[in-house]
Amino acid sequence: MTRFTLASVATLLAGAAAAGAQEKVVAVTPNTADRRVDVAVGAQPFTSYVWPARLAKPVLYPIRTARGSFVTRGFPLDPRPGERVDHPHQVGLWFNHGDVNGVDFWNNSEVRSAEERAKMGTVRHEKVVAAASGSPGRLVTEASWVMPDGGTALSEHTRWTFRAGADWRSIERRTVLTAGDRKVTFTDNKEGMLGLRVARALEEPSDKPEVFTDASGRPTTVAALDNTGVNGVYTSSEGLTGAKVWGTRARWVALSGKLGDEDVVLLLFDHPKNPGHPTYWHARGYGLFAANPFGAKVFSDGKEELHFSIEKGGTAALRHLLLILPGPFSKEKAEHAYAQFAAAR
């Protein structure tokens, strides 16, 4: 198979000269006392892997472009003026699901009542296995998916690869989930699975409040806000745009728009070896950008259904890539980049 070289992909997508797309050293610096691992390119922060006690899972937060603009929402860890304050469980880039053996991992947050949280699952960071700076930077982490009774449903082993060029960034996540002493089922549920909550400017403009209900019937109101500077547009590999992307299958989805005067493209890729490929997209105009292979029933309006299971002691692997690039968006270049990702070892 072809070796995956992000530098060549970034050159193509960004239209940059080869020298401009040359990979830079990415510094990966653990600080376990502060419950974080910082990732930087020179003096420029890129992202951090964090597991604060107030969150029910580890996340990458915040995530920045090569120019330093935030692509992720600040709330609830560091709220910014003018942004939404709904769905406090949607923080940075995270990975979990709304129904694992009947337990909700997705919606767990500090705003839930004690009674609600007692019935929800937590992804608990266990340790940093390895961290190495270089071109690329690498991080290996382990976590446990903990059930309300304190038992571990899944052990998670994740390899992160961070790459950077003069005007681009990338994050690759390879996760292996191992079932414990019993079979684990990801019950068909729209709340999942790899989620990114984006900055206000990358949302789609909306002039009315909306109410979104999760799989357990809990409603969340998303208020109408001033749309000044809000200009995000979803585009899928299947040619759909805007709100039409939600609930459809695609190999990749792009979110493009301007962060101030910076033209940005976020490309999220679903690897062809992932369960449920091509994944369904739980991509909402209010800023949730998520790939969910295990929500077929809701997304297909009942035409499909998938209850994905891992047998006792068995494993499942999932692999995704997030590219953060300068605009404008080009479907042809995105397809070329996806082909390289799909062919990579």
Secondary structure class of 101 (helix, strand, coil): coil
Task: State pLDDT tens for residues 298-323.
Answer: 999 999 999 999 999 999 999 999 99
Quote the Cα angle for 304-309-310, to 5°.
155
Show Cβ contacts of residue 245 under 8 Å, excluding neighbours closer than 6 positions. 234, 235, 236, 253, 281, 283
Q: What average pLDDT does range 112-128 have in this prediction?
A: 97
Cβ contact 322:268 at 8 Å = yes
Helix (H) or strand (E) holding 299: helix 296-299
Residue 155 has pLDDT above 60, yes or no: yes
Measure the CA–CA gap between 197 and 132, rounded to whole angstroms: 27
Token couple for 176: 């292996």
- Distance of CA 115 to CAs 57, 109, 111, 118, Å? 19, 12, 11, 5
Token couple for 153: 């449903």
Helix (H) or strand (E) holding 146: strand 137-146
For residue 296, the model assigns a pLDDT of: 96
When pLDDT is cut at 50, 70 and 90, the band that residue 13 belongs to is: low
Residue that is written with structure tokens 């951090």 in the block? 48
For residue 11, the model assigns a pLDDT of: 54
Determine the angle formed by the axes of helices 331-343 and 6-14, rounding to 10 degrees: 170
Q: What average pLDDT does range 130-135 have in this prediction?
A: 98
Provide DSSP, 225-292: ---TT---EEEETTS-BGGGGTT-B-SEEEEEEEETTEEEEEEEEE-TTSTTSSPEEEE-TTSEEEEE
Task: State pLDDT tens for residues 184-232.
Answer: 999 999 999 999 999 999 999 987 887 877 767 788 888 878 899 999 9
Token couple for 68: 């330093």
Side-chain half-sphere of 161: how many Cα atoms within 13 Å?
16
When pLDDT is cut at 50, 70 and 90, the band that residue 1 belongs to is: very low
Measure the CA–CA gap between 199 and 196, rounded to whole angstroms: 10
R_g (Cα) of the chain, nearest Å: 19
Fold of 6-343: Beta-galactosidase; Chain A, domain 5 (2.70.98)
Task: State pLDDT tens for residues 74-92.
Answer: 999 999 999 999 999 999 9
